[in-house]
Amino acid sequence: MNHHNKNWHTLTVEDAGESLGSNLQTGLSEAEAAKRLEDHGSNELKETSTRSAWRMLFDQFADFMIIVLIGAAVISGVMGDMQDAAVIIVIVVINALIGFVQEYRAEQAMAALKRMTGAGARVLRDGLIKSVNAPVLVPGDVVLLEAGNMVPADLRIIEAAQLRIDESALTGESVAAEKQTRALTISDIPLGDRVCLAYKGTIVTYGRARGLVVATGMNSELGKVAALLSAESELKTPLQQRLARFSKLLALAALTICLLVFVVGLLRGEPVLLMFMTAVSLAVAAIPEALPAVVTVSLALGARKMIRQQALIRRLSAVETLGSVTYICSDKTGTLTQNRMHVVVIYTDATLHSAFGAENKNEPWPTLFQGLALSNDAQVDFTGKASGEPTEAALLEAAQAAGWNKKALEIGAPRIKELPFDSERKRMTTFHGTRDQCIAYTKGSPEAVLPCCDCVLMANGERQIDRTFLLQQAELMARGGMRVLAVACRHWGELPVSEQIDELESGLVFLGFVGLIDPPRDEAGDAVSLCISAGIIPVMITGDHPETARTIARKLGILAHDDGRVMTGVELDRLTLADFEEVVKHVRVYARVNPAQKIKIVRALQNRGEVVAMTGDGVNDAPALKAADIGIAMGKGTDVAREAAHMVLLDDNFATIVHAVREGRRIFDNIRKFIKYTMTSNAGEIWPIFLAPFLGMPIPLLPIHILWINLVTDGLPGLALTGEPSERGVMRRNPHPLRESIFANGMWQHMIWVGLLMGGLCLLVQAWAMVSGSAHWQTMVFTVLTLSQMGHVLAIRTETESLFSVGIFSNPLLILAVLLTFALQMATIYIPALNPVFKTEALSMNELALCLVLSSIVFFAVEIEKWLVRKGWIYCAG
């Protein structure tokens, strides 16, 4: 029989047992259990077929840019430049190893999920209680639960005593769910509201129960999460997509240049071998083989910096992706809020009071606070802080803040009897004092406590209760995002002997309402504001009540208006993906959502061209974390979430995400600067070689010059650009659009005109030297081209600001790299032993001075360009 799609929460205990053919008193027989195990399979999560380690390693070499680099290495080797070939191969291998390690770690997500299901279970078989391994459980088994147990399968609760289960890992609820046995009447409700069911992988925190197994393995709710997780494939990051397009364009351009130079040289009568070597050298030079190394180093340094800011990067690509994020979908509890309940409002005497404004102890405050302290299961630890269930701890802290000491009160009024909290009654009652004189305190939900009250305590005595008015007041507090508890009391002449709960919890005097909330983090509001100024839209996704979510969102600025839309999981389910894509841009808060719905939110945003960051800490979050462009797990979350995520927040703080976004933008800016620098430099090498023959001059550079410039200028200075600090205003601009070319915003125009300027200066010095009769014209061209690139790298350290305004030494590594490159270039000119190697000759001081003056023109020209941008006279070249 297929029972997987039944709404088990709508069936009575008897109907559920009958549907599964199970005896609720004796359980299944061993023979029947064995038969069902064969029919239904093991109660385990199935892993999809995974790639072998060798396949993962091989796939790292399938990237187009890597193939181009391998080709460049082969050509360099054929030309005899084994050093350049070796450098390229080392870069390729290092990048492949890094990618392999990242993918291998990603495969551990399913393994972590599977480890959650390996616990044992106590089960009723043939009328006897037996301990079995969780994988052998079958539908129809009767399982026994107690505090501390992990729920081994999806269960229909058939008996419950004060049962509470922590379902936060699956549903996102921040408070342990109170369970009961009564069937529900509505079928279409979120998992967290199905209070007669318990789910595989969740934890029993209080009480005990018996449950009927209704789903196992991949048919359980946890199994459905596993299926979602295995179905999600890893997305390419925005940078990877841009670089892939860039690589293909570059390879075609390099081949075209190689062919053109070769043909033009032959038409001019140049030697075939020389032209072949020159053309191939240019083609190799046009390919920035240092680019993968620069990207890797940038990401690695960024990841190292982020860990000091409490953000642990699991996949290096996440560092750059953060800089392109347009939506941050964040969990509420613990990330945007403090994950600690606080009493914020108390309602007594028809008046709302600040929770900690009760310095005077006039009636009715003392009785209320005594009740909060005494009728409480939390305890005060050695540090003076309340510890225990979050709500209970918050109530005790409120009593302490008002000056009431629980231990002192218990000396005079010890607990002598109690009616524990019951999910059906939704209230608890404790009796304090002696058998001859005692007081009972009752607390619970307003709708459960108020019907038990006959009067209300006012400052001038007791009055008749107006339950309708009070329920309306409680509703107003709930709309303010608070969890509302009602507190009442009754004085007894002697301890009642009756065990009738209805009798014991009657004739109560209403004392007041207590409003609790998990308040926003102090820094979260500023972080949300910074997101909005940076063109990033923050979205709250929570398992909590819609009104609670709305209140927190308004306080943080996520919802700008009181009537801002909050969409529930039920509403989301009613929309097709296409319909949802039409409204997703208007929704800022989601409440009561399940795992598939979180993925639906991510997909809808991605289909609209957004780059989505998703936070989460539970098993239920793992598929969405993997589906998002960047998944961000909480440090205190589950192993499953951490394994599926790209980044882990060690402090579970939304503000840390914003700091990481800033770092991601800095890294992306610096990678663009490197591409701008290296491609402009390559253009500066190509133009003089390409144009010189048309001007009647010999080719100004030899292959050795091209390879040398490629090595020293792209190497150390290029890598040093990765350490450039953030631009001012980096968080006051919108993210780069996903489909935007890496050459956008004037970058390709900059590369062309600066490349032409470099080439023109080289041709100018060549023409001057040849006209003046200097035999050193080739060395002068070689020097001008190398040094002009150094001036260029200094000028492009900032997109629009002057180098002098940000400080020449604000990036000391780059200054050292430029000085070292200058020294190496001088060595090729003035060290005699190197002259025959590099085909150079020593320049006179006048010739060197001319080279220095001409090469500095590039620096000042780019500084003028940035000045024009600041004035608004030309478009941003950054």
Give the CA distances from residue 310 to residues 306, 657, 774, in Å, rounded to whole numbers and listed in that order. Answer: 6, 9, 61
Instruction: Break the chain down into helix, strand, coil percent, rounded to 5.
Output: 50, 15, 30
CA distance 538 to 552: 13
Kindly give the residue spans of alpha helices, DSSP state H, lying in 185-288. 221-231, 238-267, 272-286
Chain position carrying tokens 């289909």 = 607
Buried b / exposed e along 156-194 (16+ C-beta atoms within 10 A): bbbbbebbbbbbbbbbbbbbbbbbbbebbeeeebbbbbb
CB < 8 Å & 24+ apart, contacts of 777-780: 777/700, 778/700, 778/701, 778/702, 778/705, 778/839, 778/840, 779/829, 779/840, 779/841, 779/843, 780/843, 780/847, 780/850, 780/851
Residue 365 one-letter amino acid? W
Beta bridge partner(s), residue 429: 419, 442
Q: How far apart are CA 427 and CA 418, in angstroms?
A: 11
**Cα gap 758→762, rounded to integer Å:** 6
Question: Tokens 């997305």 — which residue?
Answer: 235
**Which sign does the torsion angle of CA 365, 367, 370, 372 carry?**
negative
In the chain, the amino acid numbered 440 is A
Amino acid residing at 634: M
Helix (H, G, I), strand (E, B) or coil at 199: coil
Give the CA dihedral 512, 514, 515, 519, nearest 10 degrees. Answer: 150
Report how far residue 422's alpha carbon sits from residue 167's, in angstroms, rounded to the nearest whole number.
18
Active-site option among 331, 621, 629, 652: 331
d(CA 815, CA 332): 45
Token readout for 737 is 């659009």
Residue 372: closest CA among 354, 397, 407: 397
Q: How do beta strands 177-178 and 154-166 pair?
A: antiparallel
Query: In the chain, count of helices (H) and strands (E)?
Result: 34, 26
Confirm if 122 and 204 have CB atoms less than 8 A apart: no
| Residues recorded for the chain | 878
**Do residues 150 and 233 lie in contact, with contact meaning Cβ atoms separated by under 8 Å?**
no
Rounded to 10°, the helix 365-374/390-401 angle is: 140
Residue with tokens 């102890």: 361
Angle at 777 between CA 776 and CA 778, to 5 degrees: 95
Token pair 């001012």 in the structure block, residue:
728
Residue 330 — φ and ψ, nearest 5°? -115, 140
**For residue 135, is the peptide bond before it cis, meaning its omega torsion is within 30 degrees of 0?**
no
Task: Please give the Cα distance from 343 to 257 (Å, whole number).
Answer: 72
Taking the C-alpha atoms of residue 517 and residue 837, their distance in angstroms, rounded to an integer, is: 76
What CA–CA distance (Å, rounded) separates 52 from 791? 49
Tokens of 792: 């260029």
Please give the distance of CA 602 from its chain centroid, rounded to a whole number: 12
Q: Is 331 a catalytic residue?
A: yes
What does the radius of gyration of the chain's CA atoms come to, in whole angstroms?
A: 36
Phi and psi for 427 in degrees, rounded to 5? -160, 165
> Which residues does the annotation mark as catalytic?
331
